[in-house]
């Protein structure tokens, strides 16, 4: 870990995901490929969850599409730092579109945990919170502990955004789980009262 | 909305989208598509989002579809390659229907040799993915092909490609 991170507590992604679910009520949750999805399934598998099983880097664009099409609902998307770096342009698009009902939670443990812990640029030189700010995202925070994280998530859901919350996490959690994509599509759309084509 | 000097086949594409309830328009900049996008931006039926990269658009139209809004991705065929993983691991396995409106590069009237290999490969890559492509070649067929091609996506529950050929558009120099 970089020197700037040593004073921060490294939190558990699974524990923080449980706190998001608890704060979210029946709002819409989107999770990116890999551990973000695995820990959301483990925290609570609910019909308002949309799990991305592939398409690394596209959790934010999916959440932006949801937020635009359902302006009366709040959308929280969870995405790992490696996926964020794969598609940094998505942050610029969110900054430009400025959806008030979108909250981006970024899990940063400075490594590609799923592929063996290879270091990501956030370990040394890249500050994702600063990138999000520079892309024009209105509210960007880096909470120091789980209680501060939960307060920020609740505030983000309850107040106009877009919001980004960058959470320094440890490398625990992430127990592999897979679900059928077509089933997930139908389940999610029906939860919104919609019938797929 | 101003329709002065409106090109008829542009209107046919816009009306094909409207008739199919395609409202969310995600695009990456392209000179052939630009006049169509400008008209959609001035038309309150459509919500236009400018992307940084084509792959983003597959995610955006997927999210919109899940939330009840049909979408289209407008892109140059040279940017099509940027969408392949998103098509293979998101749109196809989740059965997300949308229209890819492709502005063809690498064919007649191309002026840049680097566009040819990628542009010429697009129909084969689409075919390999099992995505049907409906080329728009003559102005008098655009109304039918665009309307029915777009409709087909929602029957097939997968993306379809409508290709604006350079034969139709005149390419970059034919605007």
- Alpha helix stretches (DSSP H) within chain A: 13-24, 35-43, 59-69, 81-86, 89-97, 128-134, 146-158, 181-191
Q: Tell me the pLDDT tens digit for each residue of A32-52.
A: 999 999 999 999 999 999 999
Tokens at A135, concatenated: 């892309």
Residues of A with Cβ-Cβ distance to B98 under 8 angstroms: none
A131 touches chain B (CB under 8 A): no
Is A58:B55 a contact under the CB 8 Å cutoff?
yes
Confidence at A1, pLDDT banded by 50, 70, 90: very low
Q: Tell me the pLDDT tens digit for each residue of B155-167.
A: 999 999 999 999 9
Helix-then-strand count for chain B, H and E: 7, 6
Rounded distance between C-alpha atoms, residue A81 and residue A98, angstroms: 21
Note the pTM of the prediction, 2 decimals. Answer: 0.96
Probe site for chain B from A58, A178, A182, A183 (most B CB atoms < 10 A): A58
The predicted pLDDT at position B6 comes to 82
Residues of A with Cβ-Cβ distance to B22 under 8 angstroms: none
Nearest to B52 by CA among A184, A57, A176, A181: A57
Distance from CA of A185 to the nearest CA of B (A): 6
Probe site for chain A from B79, B94, B156 (most A CB atoms < 10 A): B94
Q: What is the ipTM of this complex?
A: 0.95
Residues of B with Cβ-Cβ distance to A63 under 8 angstroms: 63
């Amino acid at each position: 870990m970089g020197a700037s991170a040593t004073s921060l507590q490294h939190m558990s992604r699974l524990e923080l995901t449980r706190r998001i679910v608890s704060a979210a009520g029946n709002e819409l949750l989107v999770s990116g490929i890999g551990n973000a999805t695995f820990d959301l399934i483990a925290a609570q598998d609910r019909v308002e969850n949309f799990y991305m099983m592939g398409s690394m880097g596209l959790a934010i664009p999916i959440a932006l599409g949801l937020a635009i099409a359902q302006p009366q609902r709040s959308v929280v998307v969870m995405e790992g730092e490696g996926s964020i770096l794969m598609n940094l342009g998505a942050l610029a698009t969110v900054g430009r579109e400025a959806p008030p009902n979108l909250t981006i939670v970024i899990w940063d443990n400075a490594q590609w945990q799923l592929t063996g812990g290879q270091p990501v640029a956030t370990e040394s030189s890249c500050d994702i919170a600063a990138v999000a700010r520079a892309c024009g995202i209105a509210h960007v925070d880096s909470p120091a502990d789980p209680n501060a994280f939960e307060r920020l998530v609740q505030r983000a859901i309850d107040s106009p955004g877009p919001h980004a919350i960058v959470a320094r996490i440890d490398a625990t959690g992430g127990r592999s789980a897979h679900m059928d994509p077509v089933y997930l599509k139908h389940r999610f759309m029906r939860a919104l009262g919609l019938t797929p084509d | 909305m101003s329709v002065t000097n409106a090109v008829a086949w542009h209107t046919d594409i816009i009306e094909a989208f409207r008739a199919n309830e395609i409202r969310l328009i995600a695009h990456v900049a392209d000179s052939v598509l630009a006049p169509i996008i400008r008209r959609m931006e001035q038309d309150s039926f459509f919500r236009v989002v400018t992307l940084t990269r084509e792959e983003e658009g597959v995610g955006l139209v997927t999210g919109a579809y899940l939330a009840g809004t049909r979408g289209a991705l407008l892109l140059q065929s040279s940017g099509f390659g940027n969408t392949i993983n998103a098509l293979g691991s998101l749109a196809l396995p989740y059965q997300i229907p949308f229209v890819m409106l492709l502005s063809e590069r690498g064919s007649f009237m191309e002026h840049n040799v680097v566009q040819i290999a990628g542009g010429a490969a697009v129909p084969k890559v689409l075919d390999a993915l099992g995505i049907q492509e409906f080329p728009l070649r003559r102005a008098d067929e655009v109304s039918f092909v665009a309307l029915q091609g777009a409709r087909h996506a929602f029957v097939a529950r997968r993306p379809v490609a409508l290709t604006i050929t350079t034969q139709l558009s005149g390419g970059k120099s034919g605007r």
